[in-house]
Amino acid sequence: MPRRTPLNEAHRKLGARMVDFVGWDMPVQYTSVIAEHEAVRTGVGLFDVSHMGEIEFRGPGALESANALISNDLARCADGQAVYAGLLNEQGGFVDDVVAYRFSAERILVCVNASNVDKDFAWMKEHAKGVAPVNRSDDFAQIAVQGPKAPALVQRLTKADLSKVGTYRFTEGEVAGVKCIISRTGYTGEDGFELYCPPQDAEKLWNALMAEGQQDGVKPAGLGCRDSLRTEMKYALYGNDIDDAHTALEAGLGWIVKLDKAQFVGKDALVAQKAAGVKRKLVGFELTGAGVPRHGYPVLKDGQRVGEVTSGTMGPSVKKPIGMAYVPTELAAEGSTFDVDIRGRAVPATVVKTPFLKKS
């Protein structure tokens, strides 16, 4: 039986189509993926992301213990700041991609992918020196409020001054009478907040956001549009675009790796790879022929397989078939061309500048 989030009943009442996603019973869509995608791009959408995991480091030395495990640098952050980071293996590949929150030098919370909670927790326990991690995943539900109208919606339900909470910053306060971590983060390319709350209060918070958001045309949003929204921004999905066999430098995520930081797992491999040069890169491409690229489709150059598509969709906002693929570095420059094998048809594609959706 797939696990259920505290909002499972709410999704069913809204007529959601439920699917098994990495062992969780999750809404893939409510009405239509495109309508939900558009709501997030132009108004506001609500996502249940309670399946995500949370792992905490607490006590004297928490900052040092957590920071030694991630590729980014929490020591450079102020309290109330978050970073996007990798948990990397010795070869520089991804154990996972995470968001790490610095509450103080004695409290760090790391949000991990649902598919990787047990693996990440075991990996952290194995590699942590000093403060041991605690798996707090069952202590949090999480609702993402995303879209240009999201900040005003959340602001109407809280006394916290959200104008003071910048991107990748967070605060603690009540939203609709529910104690929350209010984080200005997301996976859509739009403004908004991710709200962490006690599981028993999740339905109250969800219902309050749905009711207050009626004036904004709020829509519940499923995993289908979460995928199309993030693909248009070239945000990586663990298991598709990043994994243990591809390094942060190959994935174009060198900006989340601080090689001038004291030792972290995977650092030596990345220093060596940077010096030698990467042989393959994750690129964004548009199909110039008919078809939609999908995960696993072969990438061809002169009829020879040279890589494969990691993610692809018909972008509802860009109105083009777009995707990501690992290709040899010599094919990674903007304007380079190759073919994508779509069920035996070689469909031409061109490497383009990303994100696919240009935000003003």
The answer to whether 79 touches 104, Cβ cutoff 8 Å, is yes
- Report pLDDT for 106: 99
Looking at residue 147, its amino acid is G
Exposure string for 309-343, b = 16+ CB within 10 A, e = fewer: bbbbbbbbbbeebbbbbbbbeebbeeebebbbbbe
**Could you give the CA distance from residue 229 to residue 241 in angstroms, rounded to a whole number?**
15
**Could you give the CA distance from residue 121 to residue 99 in angstroms, rounded to a whole number?**
14
Indicate if 64 and 116 belong to the same structural domain. Answer: yes
Last residue of a domain, one of 136, 169, 187: 136
- Report pLDDT for 178: 99
pLDDT tens-digit profile of 61-119?
999 999 999 999 999 999 999 999 999 999 999 999 999 999 999 999 999 999 999 99
- Report pLDDT for 359: 81
Indicate if 17 and 156 belong to the same structural domain. Answer: yes
- Report pLDDT for 337: 98
Indicate if 34 and 146 belong to the same structural domain. Answer: yes
Report DSSP state, residue 102. Answer: E
Query: How many domains, the chain?
Result: 3
Indicate if 40 and 58 belong to the same structural domain. Answer: no
Indicate if 38 and 145 belong to the same structural domain. Answer: yes
H-run or E-run covering 272: helix 267-276
Domain assignment of residue 100, yes or no: yes
**Could you give the CA distance from residue 79 to residue 306 in angstroms, rounded to a whole number?**
45
Residue given tokens 């002169």 in the structure block: 302
CATH of the domain at 311: 2.40.30.110
pTM of model > 0.95: yes
Domain assignment of residue 239, yes or no: no
For residue 143, give the nearest of 175, 190, 96, 100 by alpha carbon.
175
Indicate if 23 and 81 belong to the same structural domain. Answer: no
- Report pLDDT for 142: 99
Indicate if 41 and 153 belong to the same structural domain. Answer: yes
pLDDT tens-digit profile of 64-80?
999 999 999 999 999 99
- Residue ranges in the chain whose pLDDT is less than 70: 360
**How many CA within 13 A on the CB side of residue 342?**
18
Indicate if 148 and 227 belong to the same structural domain. Answer: yes
| Alpha-helix residue ranges (DSSP H) falling in the chain | 8-13, 33-42, 62-67, 117-127, 150-156, 202-212, 223-232, 267-276
The answer to whether 240 touches 311, Cβ cutoff 8 Å, is yes
The answer to whether 113 touches 97, Cβ cutoff 8 Å, is yes
Indicate if 10 and 148 belong to the same structural domain. Answer: yes
**Could you give the CA distance from residue 248 to residue 71 in angstroms, rounded to a whole number?**
9
**Could you give the CA distance from residue 178 to residue 4 in angstroms, rounded to a whole number?**
21
Domain assignment of residue 36, yes or no: yes
Domain assignment of residue 28, yes or no: yes
Domain region containing 304: 279-352
- Report pLDDT for 28: 99
Report DSSP state, residue 142. Answer: E
CATH of the domain at 66: 3.30.70.1400
Last residue of a domain, one of 174, 207, 232: 232
247: left (phi over 0), alpha (psi -120 to 50) or beta: beta
